[in-house]
Structures are given as C-alpha cells and as structure tokens.
Amino acid sequence: MMSDIKQMESLLSTQIPLVVIESHEEQKVINLLERVASLNRQGFYVWNLSHGLRRWNGGDQPYNTQELVEALRHIEKSPQNGVFLFLDAHPFMDNPLVIRTIKNIAQKYELVPRMQVFLSARISLPEELSRMAVSFKPKLPDRNAIRALVQEEIGKYLGASGTKVTGQREALEMLIQHVGGLSEEDARRLIRVAIRDDGKITLSDIGKVLKTKHEFLRSSEILNLETGIANLEELGGLKNLKRWLAVRREIFLSGDPSGPLPAPKGVLLLGVQGAGKSLAAKTVAGAWYLPLFRLDFGTLYDKFHGETERNLREALSIAGAMSPCVLWMDEIEKGISGDADGTSDGGVSQRVLGTLLTWMAERRGRVFLVATANDIQRLPPELLRKGRFDEIFFIDLPQDEARRQILRIHLQRRKLDPAGFDLERLSAASNGFSGAEIEQAIVSALYEALAAKQALGSEHVLAEIGRTRPLSVIMAEKVQALREWALQRAVLAD
C-alpha cells in the first residue's frame, strides 16, 4: 500500500492543483507536506486566520495576509512555486472572490506550479473548484502500529507512576482491535482511557473504550451506540439464526483477509411487527461481543440538497471506523422506499439507496450489517439481489416451543418462577401471538394482579391473552402474504 508521502508526491508530480483533506490531524498533515515539499525542493507555506500566510520554516510573513482573499492575491501575484496549506478555510468557500482567486492560481499551475491544500475537519469545495480537486485522506495506524502505540503508552505510564501496567491478554487484544480506525492522536487517548485509572488493561475497560471512541467519532445523532444488547439466552426460538451466527462468529472476529473464507457481510431479517427482529439484531452483537450501532433513518434525511446522502456516507464512515461492529438498520424500508422513479421525494431515496448499495459492495472494514424490515413490498429489488446479504431470514410468529421459551424468559425477567405457571396452556392460548404481544400480556396481567393484591398466576395471563387481538388477526391478509413470499425466498429463522 502506498505511503502518505508517496501518495502526496504522486499528486504533486501529476500537477494536481487543488487537494482537499478532511482531518483533525493538523500537525500530522503539516509534517507530511513539509516533508514532501522538502523532498521536491519546493517552498512550504501555511495560512491560518490568526497568523496569515507565512513560510513554515520561519521566513518573512507577507504584509496583511490574515484575510484569506489577501493571502490568495499575494500568492497569485508572486512568482514563487511551492505547496500552500490553508487551515480551516471552509467558512470562506462561499465568497465569490475567494473562489475566483483560487481558480486563477490553479489554472496557472503549468506556468507556476503551486499546489493549494485545504485542511479542515469538514470542508466542501464549491462546484467551480471541485472538478479541479482531489481528496486525500491520511492513513490510519494499522494493527502493528497500534500495538506499538500501546507499548509506548505503557512505557509512559511506568515512567510517570513507577508502576508496571498489568492486565489480561484477551483484553489487550480487544483494546488493539477496537482502537483501530482512529488517528494516532485519538488512539493514544483511548489507550490512556484503558490504562490511566488503575494501571491495568482488563475486559471492564473495553466498554469505556468503546463509549469514548464513539464520542470521538460522533458528529451527529444519526448513528446511535446501543447499550442494551442481548445474549442468546434472551432470544426465544430462532434456532436456525442462532446456529448461523455461531458458525460464522470466529471467521468474522478473526479479521484475516488472507483466510480461505470471506468475512460475513450481513443479514436481512423479515417478519411481522413484534416478532423479535430488533431483539435478534441486538443478539448478534451480544453473541459476537461487539458494539451495536443503530442507524436512525428519521434523523438521516435533510431538507438541503445532497445533505441526506452526505449524512449517510458520514454514518457509514463512522461505522467503518468503529469496526469490528454490528450496524443495525431498523425498518430499512422506511429509509429507501420512495417511488421507483424518485418523484415523491425528489429522488432522495433513490440516491440514498445508491449510496448504501455502493457501500455494501465496496466496504472493507468488518461491519456486519443487520437490516430489519416489516413490509417486503416496499423494499427495492436491487437490495434483495443475491450477494447483497449473506442470508435473508424470515422471523415468523413463534411456534409452540418458541412461545414456551418466550414465556419463560419474560417471567424470569420479572423475578417469577416459570415452574409456577402452566406453560402448555399459556403457549396454546397465545398461538398466533408475536413475542412482543406475549410480553405485553404478562405485563398487563401483572398490573391486574397487583391491583387485586394477588400473586400473578396462569389465570391472570390467560385472561389477558383472551382480551388481546393479535396482529395476526387484525392484519391476517398482510401477515399471510408476507409468509407466502418468505417461504419461497427466505430461510426460516426457526
């Protein structure tokens, strides 16, 4: 893989006039560009609003260049070639004079080679300039580099405290794994989160590391870190899905791209509301000991043109940086189910779908996608094409044994002994109920029992079941249509 220096030298040698870098690593970029300029015997200049334009190695500062447009005019008039770095110039990119002067300098590149580099945490060039520019992203530390950073921080802790860092080998490997996807500076900060409180690296530190990492990366509320993940024991039924996850766990977690098998990419979970799709998504993260992120389509959409797709790309980028992780897209049909011709929303849903499909095809990080859907008719056929997901599972209404498991789980969750209930009668009475409806029957029965100052018994639950009209009755035709579609095209989760 080409190093940052080689890649930047390549841009310089191919006479790229404009380079955009979205990064928080200001000093790293300055060091990189200074090195590249030196190797190519060119001057290196840096502008910021505080100090104006100046030669980085301490040369004279041109008079009156604090304003960006004045700095650009000075560069345009000067015969000096070189690399010119502009720090945090993004607020001025809507100024027509700034745009025109940048363009003038870029168009004279063959006469006076001057590479203009714009560095901000987030920046968009106007259309007049974007066609002349390329994006550059500094490489992140790989696993070996992160391991070296951990050793450096351990050494610093020893030097500062006089105490050796201890811990668990498994926790150390998980720390190295979860620090991936961050800049060197942020990686060091996370390593310190694990070490500095007690001089130990233990499994209890991993949760703190993940929470802090998410705070580093989160620039919006589109991607939410879910804390209430579940384990397999909390999921009633779905034996086929559970086995599928168990078989693929080690391959996904190993992260070995040279292995004989590709890492699992994701699953689509279809089913009626309340059947357990959301709980199943949480179970994937729990079973694989991975952080779970939920993409909120409600906050994804933006009224400004192009911002919705940008929001999605940003969320997917954050998920990639948080890898290995599970990305949960709940009720995915709500986010990508505009009209086929895109007229109902100006084509936004079609562009969102295109962005998502491109990411699904090209992603390299270990991000396991779990998409859930209630309405198969609203899913575009492009999403269901073979290869998009590793498998499409249909989560049907629970059968007898699964209903018993669900009853046990929800009784135990409320500190009740399932042995004191007639599970056979309760299971038979709740035929056609979803897991959520069974849970609600138990909750309602508890309210009734408490109001009557009685201990909860089977009769209370049976009475609530009798008063409930499940979704399978209210929407019988829709449930049956979904079942018929899935039996031909999906794998039964149970």
Model confidence at 339, pLDDT cuts 50, 70, 90, reads low
Say if residues 55 and 102 touch (Cβ distance below 8 Å): no
Segment 115-121 shows an average pLDDT of 95
Sheet containing 223-226, strands listed edge to edge, beginning at the edge strand earlier in sequence: 223-226, 292-295, 325-329, 367-373, 266-271, 391-395, 491-492
Percent of the chain with pLDDT over 70: 93
d(Cα 428, Cα 403) in Å, to the nearest integer? Answer: 9
* Contact (CB, 8 A) for 259 and 366: no
Rounded average pLDDT over 101-119: 94
Tracing tokens 């042995």 back to the chain, one arrives at 419
Distances (CA, A) of 250 to 234, 245, 322, 393, 491: 21, 10, 19, 21, 22
Q: Write down the residue that tokens 């859907």 correspond to.
A: 373
Say which CATH superfamily domain 4-135 falls into. Answer: P-loop containing nucleotide triphosphate hydrolases (3.40.50.300)
Average pLDDT over residues 169-198: 86
**What pTM, to 2 d.p., does this model score?**
0.69
CATH architecture of the domain with residue range 143-217: Orthogonal Bundle (1.10)
User: Which architecture does CATH list for 232-395?
Assistant: 3-Layer(aba) Sandwich (3.40)
Overall average pLDDT of the 222-249 stretch:
82
* Residue 299 to residues 318, 357, 437, Cα–Cα distance (Å): 16, 20, 28
Identify the pLDDT of residue 305.
Answer: 52
Distance in angstroms (rounded) separating the CA atoms of residues 175 and 150: 9
User: 302 or 265: whose pLDDT is higher?
Assistant: 265
SS3 459: helix
Tell me the pLDDT band of 105, cut-offs 50, 70 and 90. very high
- 344: pLDDT strictly greater than 70: no
Question: Which of the four CATH numbers 3.20.20.70, 3.40.228.10, 1.10.8.60, 1.10.3720.10 does domain 400-474 have?
Answer: 1.10.8.60
pLDDT at 290: 86
Q: What is the pLDDT of residues 29-82, one digit of tens each?
A: 999 999 999 999 999 999 999 999 999 877 667 778 999 999 999 999 998 899
pLDDT confidence of residue 110: 87
- Res 370: pLDDT: 95
Whether the per-residue pLDDT at 159 is higher than 80: the answer is yes
Tell me, yes or no, if the two domains 4-135 and 232-395 fold the same way. Answer: yes
pLDDT by residue (tens digit) across 239-275?
899 999 999 988 888 766 666 788 899 999 998 888 8
393-397-402 Cα angle (round to 5): 95
What mean pLDDT is predicted for residues 280-288? Answer: 87
pLDDT tens digits, residue range 402-415?
A: 999 999 999 999 99
Q: Are strands 266-271 and 391-395 parallel, antiparallel or unpaired?
A: parallel
**231 or 385, greater pLDDT:** 385
Q: What is the pLDDT of residue 306?
A: 61
Give which of 227, 340, 345, 368 is closest to 297, Cα–Cα. Answer: 345
Q: Residue ranges per domain, the chain?
A: 4-135, 143-217, 232-395, 400-474
Residue 208 has pLDDT above 90, yes or no: no
Structure tokens at 14: 């191919």
| Residue 228: predicted pLDDT | 67
Contact, 120 vs 22, CB < 8 A?
yes
Work out the angle between the directed axes of helices 435-451 and 458-467 (0-180°, nearest 10). Answer: 120
CA–CA distances in Å: residue 335 to residues 312, 330, 376: 11, 9, 13
